[in-house]
Structure 1
Amino acid sequence: GASAVTAPSTHFARRLEQHDVFPQVDVIWNGIDDDLRAQTLAARPATREPGRPRFVWLGRMSPEKRLLPFLEAFVASGVDADLEIIGGGAQRAAAEKVVRGVDGVRFAGRLTYAQTLERIAAADALVQTSIGFETQGMTPFEAATLGTPSVICDPDIGAELGGGLWAVPDADPGASSRDIEVQRVTALAETLRRAASDIAAGTAPVPVPEVAEAFRQSSRTAAMIAVYERVLARP
């Protein structure tokens, strides 16, 4: 009975349509507050701080976010890099065990939203590890609007971003579930090595400017108002 339906990403909107939830679903991204974005960018150093490549992972420490496979991949990659992990959850102890003794890994715990954005802006790359779970996947968009590229495991999210990322090849869909996870960890480890190399060489990809602009909350508000105006204009 709705006059219009919106979804926060193209892939989720198309799936709603394919399952006959609604014939046409408008894509309206979730966004970032304009002023907070401006404050975060203003506080960021004009040039990259010297040091090893800096990765950041953030989210709920639960199985669907795939933190443990990511840490296994980070260890297997052998990259000479720093990693900050932001967030909390039931898998915290297991995560700490995976990287115990690994140099450069830091668990920051839960931070405020403003603090989290500061960490993303200061990082060389954000790592997004969930696959087939997110309706949008906010963190890579937040990173893109702050100028930070991402390592992306979910091809749907990678397609939505349109660039400014290192895409992790997916596993063979015909493999067993165990083999699929092994392939995904191996592919992520290789992608982390490639990302660290690009960062060290100064050749990291740059987020698409249009994404940064379109992720401002003011533009998302304008897009949503346009949906209401379209509905109200109908006879």
Structure 2
Amino acid sequence: MRIAFFTDVFLEIPGGIPSSIKAQKTTLESLGHHVTIFCPGWKKQQPGISMDKQSHLSLIKNSNEDIIIVPSFKLLRPNGAPLAKSPTKIIKYINKLYPNFSSSFDLVHVHYEASCSIAGVKLAKKYHLKLVQTMHGREDIAIYTNVPTPLNYLVAPLLNFLHQKSLESIQKRKITLPKKDNYLIKTLVHRNMWELMIRQASLADIVISPSQHFAKNLEHYHAAKTVHVVSNGIDDELLAKYSFKIRERQQNDPLKIIWSSRVSKEKRILPFLESIKQSKCHKNIQLTVIGDGNQLQEAKAFAKANLTDTKIVFLGLVPHEELFQYEKDQHLSIINSYGFDTQGMTILEAIACGLPVIYADPAMDENIPDHCGLRAKNNTPAAMAELLDYIFENPELIKAMSKAALRASPSVMQSAQIKKLLNLYQSSSN
């Protein structure tokens, strides 16, 4: 099967979506399928390109010719990542590369909702290819949380309007949601972003969610009659490079915790640092922070001012293929988001290497295999501090949870998810 992936997420920036896309590509190709990824990048270059690890601005030829960099803005770089130009320009560019798109691809799988992803939708419709759409995240929370008020009340309607205009020629039903409801639409920001997400999903033949609770949310707003759940997965080839042992911690040993998510507002880095501050064992906690984001400097400042007795290391961005090297000697992985993550690759990465997880969001319960993690009583810093103290005082918990995680590791690998994805591909093929 010849599959075209479209995404607006830059593949060379660590994160859940790019790592899941690359894992799907690797596993599909190991089974004999052919996957081409269309995504934004630093400049147009054919064949495919990758970033030099030494510089975000340095490009090298990539032996993988199946990553097509679509036209992208040179100066607009939200969060340091390239931004794709308009769907019209992207389609024009792709049409030059593939004059008869349908002779090159059997199926289109879209992994986002912005310009490049819109181009994928329009190409699928133009060439009568069946369309699969994975809805990865809560874009309403992302805009509401990360764009300052009142600017977010301007940005969300603008994004919704541009999305609607880009797709109006192929949109069969108008997407209109209530201004507010008792479910997830709390403000006009949420409403506009949910309209955008539902419009995108409504055009697909198959809609996928990485988790059951997010599928339920999408079905509530009529994204599709059935939203299929296909978990993200960890790249089998990547993990095969490592071997992991059961984590153990002795009484009064430092409690080693790793943060491997964006250092951003929606991920709630500052509330977690506050939890450490409130913890009775804060002097015996060692925190490693991997990632970049809009609260990195605030997090560093908070740690410097309030956690001088706690060993905290901010490593910044780390290539995804090196993440497991850092996780090997940790006791816990933390995912502190609440109401935002639809699954959390941080969880899957931790389970894959036998690392117990602590978390705050009850929605993540479905993603934590039995006995592999512990959830705070609520989303307050005090509740997480209480959990940290409980784990510190009961060191045997680390070994028990780590054993369970290693047993569950095969279940979070991409190879365990791919059959379900292929079944959906085949059910939606011409």
Q: TM-score, normalised by structure 2?
A: 0.47
Structure 1 distance, partners of 2:406, 2:396, is 23
The correspondence for 1:65, drawn from 261, 267, 272, is: 267
Amino acid at match of 1:99: A
Higher relative contact order (CA 8 A, sep 6+): 1
- The Cα shift of 1:231 comes to 3.5
The answer on whether the counterparts of 1:60 and 1:87 sit within 8 Å (CA) in structure 2 is yes
The answer on whether the counterparts of 1:121 and 1:143 sit within 8 Å (CA) in structure 2 is no
Task: Compare 10-19 and 125-134 and name the one that shifted more.
Answer: 10-19
CA pair 230-199 structure 1, distance change in 2 beyond 3 A: farther
Structure 2 distance, partners of 1:197, 1:74, is 15
The answer on whether the counterparts of 2:261 and 2:291 sit within 8 Å (CA) in structure 1 is yes
- The Cα shift of 1:14 comes to 1.3
Structure 1 distance, partners of 2:245, 2:407, is 22
SS of equivalent residue, structure 1 residue 205: helix
Question: 1:22 and 2:224 equivalent?
Answer: yes
The correspondence for 1:148, drawn from 323, 346, 355, is: 355
What residue in structure 1 maps to residue 296 of structure 2?
92
Identity %: 27
Question: 1:212 and 2:409 equivalent?
Answer: yes
Task: Compare 195-204 and 30-39 and name the one that shifted more.
Answer: 195-204
Structure 2 distance, partners of 1:214, 1:102, is 38
- The Cα shift of 1:8 comes to 0.9
Question: 1:112 and 2:308 equivalent?
Answer: no
CA pair 209-16 structure 1, distance change in 2 beyond 3 A: farther
Amino acid at match of 2:375: A
- The Cα shift of 1:74 comes to 0.7
Question: 1:136 and 2:340 equivalent?
Answer: no
Amino acid at match of 1:85: V
What residue in structure 2 maps to residue 9 of structure 1?
211
The answer on whether the counterparts of 1:198 and 1:204 sit within 8 Å (CA) in structure 2 is no
The correspondence for 2:421, drawn from 212, 224, 231, is: 224
What residue in structure 1 maps to residue 66 of structure 2?
none
SS of equivalent residue, structure 1 residue 122: coil
Structure 1 distance, partners of 2:378, 2:398, is 26
What residue in structure 1 maps to residue 125 of structure 2?
none
Question: 1:185 and 2:381 equivalent?
Answer: yes
- The Cα shift of 1:192 comes to 1.2
SS of equivalent residue, structure 1 residue 14: helix
The answer on whether the counterparts of 2:248 and 2:399 sit within 8 Å (CA) in structure 1 is no
Structure 2 distance, partners of 1:170, 1:209, is 27
The answer on whether the counterparts of 1:195 and 1:204 sit within 8 Å (CA) in structure 2 is no
Structure 1 distance, partners of 2:246, 2:427, is 42
What residue in structure 2 maps to residue 75 of structure 1?
277
Q: Deviations over 1:210-232 (max 9, x none)?
A: 75223212222222001123344
What residue in structure 2 maps to residue 54 of structure 1?
256
The Cα RMSD (Å) is 2.3
The correspondence for 1:168, drawn from 373, 376, 391, is: 376
Consecutive unaligned residues of structure 1, counting only runs of 5 or more, are 172-183
CA pair 28-55 structure 1, distance change in 2 beyond 3 A: same
SS of equivalent residue, structure 1 residue 131: coil
Consecutive unaligned residues of structure 2, counting only runs of 5 or more, are 1-202
- The Cα shift of 1:202 comes to 5.1
Structure 2 distance, partners of 1:10, 1:208, is 21
The answer on whether the counterparts of 1:53 and 1:200 sit within 8 Å (CA) in structure 2 is no
- The Cα shift of 1:153 comes to 0.8
Task: Compare 63-72 and 187-196 and name the one that shifted more.
Answer: 187-196
Amino acid at match of 1:217: Q
Structure 2 distance, partners of 1:22, 1:47, is 43
| Larger Rg over CA atoms | 2
The answer on whether the counterparts of 2:263 and 2:294 sit within 8 Å (CA) in structure 1 is yes
CA pair 219-46 structure 1, distance change in 2 beyond 3 A: closer
- The Cα shift of 1:49 comes to 8.2
